[in-house]
Amino acid sequence: MKIAFDAKRAFWNNRGLGNYSRDVIRLLATYAPANEYFLCGVPNRQRETLLRQGTVVAPEGWWKYLPSLWRSGGMLSQLQGMDVYHGLSGELPWGIEKTGIKSVVTMHDAIFVRYPELYSPTYRWLFTKKVQYACNVADIIIAISEQTKRDLVEFFHADEKKIRVVYQGCSNIFRESVTERQIAEVRRKYALPDCYLLDVGAIEPRKNMKNLLRAMAVAGVSLPLVAIGGKSRYADEMAIEAKRLGVDLRMLHNVPFADFPAIYKAAEVMCYPSIFEGFGIPILEAMCVDTPVLTSTGSCFAETGGDAALYADPLNPKEIGTQLLRILNEDGLRKEMIQKGQEQAARFTDERVAANLIKIYEELR
């Protein structure tokens, strides 16, 4: 089969959607090498590994000056002969249903509908249009969790018969052994303390760092909180809030992805108190390196964490603090969480995720 991917985020996005896109392409190139893969987008020449996994389909002619419009539909003339087009981040080119090319779209979440106050009116309008169109015309919709599936049916009236839940995995670098030398190197590189809590993800209101800081203050947790994420206005606000609460907050920006496993491994607890997610991939990343996870009740979190994580109401700092102290102080619980984390992580191996993806494409033959 000839399978084309929307590779914009695979090439340029360093966060969750980019990681998901690169992982899908990597898995299929590895486990279904008989197919031909095409990466649609303006290539990032620094992504050498990605570029080896497929043939680039880039804007040509005057489309080079309008890459967003090309991606929204102008690319269709360059997709002749493709069997499948897979939109990896909730979008499909306008008019693809008229080409005879089968289409798959991965839907990650509907947070912009559930929490509209977190997004601009323009963003909400645009993505509502894009997601609704993709739900209407896609031959198969991949939802990355049961929660996302429910949201697609509720908010976009998606045809439930077209939806397949395919859990994502995480980068295979988290399944490689982390050595003491690697841990020592990241401690030196980022001036990490001997013991710390970890928070990974965009530093924005939905990720709920404020209630984590309050929980640490209420529970009297003196360990530093190391947060990996981009610079933002909210990050500046959290620095002020941490100082007010007497919490030692250390934010790391622009951390190379290759350093993540060792930073996770060295942490006492990975705290993920997000209000809402589509999957919550840092939960899985932490479990892969044997770091206990404290995350939120509700949303998709139990789908990812299973019985390996501890959960707390993300809006209740006292409850977050109580659960955090349990992980820090109860050795038996900590060991049990690590063991169960290994078992839970085994549900999301490359082999399982790849098999589920391949099954999707086989449906479209």
CA distance 292 to 319: 17
pLDDT, tens digit (0-9, with 9 covering 90-100), for 120-173:
899 999 999 999 999 999 999 999 999 999 999 999 999 999 999 999 988 889
Task: Judge whether 92 and 71 are in contact, CB under 8 Å.
Answer: no
pLDDT at 305 over 90: yes
| pTM of this prediction exceeds 0.85 | yes
- Buried residues in 260-271 as b, exposed as e (16+ CB within 10 A): bbbbbbbbbbbb
96/111 Cα distance (integer angstroms) = 26
Residue 208 confidence (pLDDT) above 90:
yes
Residue range 248-252: average pLDDT? 97
Q: What is the mean pLDDT of residues 108-118?
A: 90
Same fold for the domain at 2-169+349-363 and the one at 176-347? yes
Residues 174-183: what's their mean pLDDT?
95
What is the secondary structure of 274-296 as a DSSP string? -S--SS-HHHHHHHHTT--EEEE
pLDDT value for 14: 85
- The predicted pLDDT at position 317 comes to 98
267-300: pLDDT as tens digits: 999 999 999 998 999 999 999 999 999 999 988 9
pLDDT band for position 15 (cuts 50, 70, 90)? confident
C-alpha span between 102 and 83 (Å, rounded): 6
User: Which pLDDT tens digit goes with each residue over 40-49?
Assistant: 999 998 899 9
Distance CA 124, CA 117 (A): 10
Per DSSP, 192 falls in state -
Mean pLDDT for the chain overall: 95
pLDDT band at residue 16 under the 50/70/90 scheme:
confident
Residue 365 pLDDT class (50, 70, 90 cuts): confident
Residue 151 to residue 355: CA distance in whole angstroms: 25
Sorted by where each begins, the domain ranges of the chain are 2-169+349-363, 176-347
- Kindly report the CATH number that applies to the domain delimited by 2-169+349-363: 3.40.50.2000
Give domain 176-347's CATH superfamily: Glycogen Phosphorylase B; (3.40.50.2000)
pLDDT for 41 = 96
- In the chain, what percentage of residues exceed pLDDT 90? 90
Q: How far is CA 310 from CA 98, 165, 209, 307, 353, in A?
A: 48, 24, 17, 8, 25
pLDDT band at 119 (very low <50, low <70, confident <90, very high): confident
Looking at residue 344, its pLDDT comes to 96
Instruction: Give pLDDT, residue 58.
Output: 96
pLDDT digits (tens, 9 = 90+) for 53-112: 999 999 999 999 999 999 999 999 999 999 999 999 999 999 999 999 999 999 999 999
Please return the burial class of 75, using the count of CB atoms within 10 Å of its CB with bins 0-12, 13-18 and 19+: buried
Query: Mind listing the pLDDT tens digit for each residue in 189-202?
Result: 999 999 999 999 98
**pLDDT (tens digit per residue) in 314-351:** 999 999 999 999 999 999 999 999 999 999 999 999 99
